[in-house]
Each structure stands twice: as C-alpha cells, then as structure tokens.
C-alpha cells in the first residue's frame, strides 16, 4: 500500500494535529493499523455520502477522522480533523 498526502491533508495536519503531540502519536498509531489491516474494527472505516461519496474515512479517536480515497494500491489521505471539519 502506498499512502500519499493531498495538499489539503498536509495543511490540516500541520494546523490541527501536529501541534498536539498526543493526537499526533494517536494518528501515527492508527495509520500503522490502517496499513496492516484496513478493515480493523478499531478504525471504524466507512464510506462517505453526498458530495464526498468517492471517499472513505476512518476514526483516529474522539471526534477525529481521516478521509481518504483509494485507487488500487494507492491511498490518498484527503483531510484530517473533527467530524464537522472533515465531513
């Protein structure tokens, strides 16, 4: 699996996640789980609806989510943040 970061994801990550070391470490932990087992129940992975119907999302913890799109073996993280920020 190849993971790419969309430019919007990079901005959101630097603004919303990186300043909080405990959240950043939780994100990294979830990404490892995602790489090893994308269907893990811990991630609560689900398909999105509406104008983001081409994306999926997984849970980091609390209200934090990562939205992504998948094309074969390539996964592109699109956004990260709270439920309202991502959806």
pLDDT digits (tens, 9 = 90+) for 46-77: 999 999 999 999 999 999 999 999 999 999 99
Q: In the predicted model, is pLDDT for residue 11 greater than 90?
A: yes
Question: Nearest to residue 32, comparing CAs of 19, 44, 20, 43?
Answer: 43
Its CATH architecture, for the domain 2-86, is 2-Layer Sandwich (3.30)
Q: For the residues 11-22, what does the mean pLDDT come to?
A: 94
Q: In the predicted model, is pLDDT for residue 43 greater than 90?
A: yes
Q: For the residues 3-32, what does the mean pLDDT come to?
A: 95
Average pLDDT, the chain: 94
């Amino acid at each position: 699996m190849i993971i790419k970061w969309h430019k919007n994801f990079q901005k959101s990550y630097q603004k919303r996640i990186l300043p909080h070391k405990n959240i950043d470490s939780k994100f990294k932990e979830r990404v490892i789980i995602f790489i090893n087992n994308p269907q893990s129940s811990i991630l609560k992975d689900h398909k999105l609806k509406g104008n983001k119907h081409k994306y999926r999302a997984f849970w980091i913890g609390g209200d934090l989510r990562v939205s992504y799109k998948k094309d074969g073996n390539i996964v592109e993280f699109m956004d990260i943040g709270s439920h309202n920020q991502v959806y």
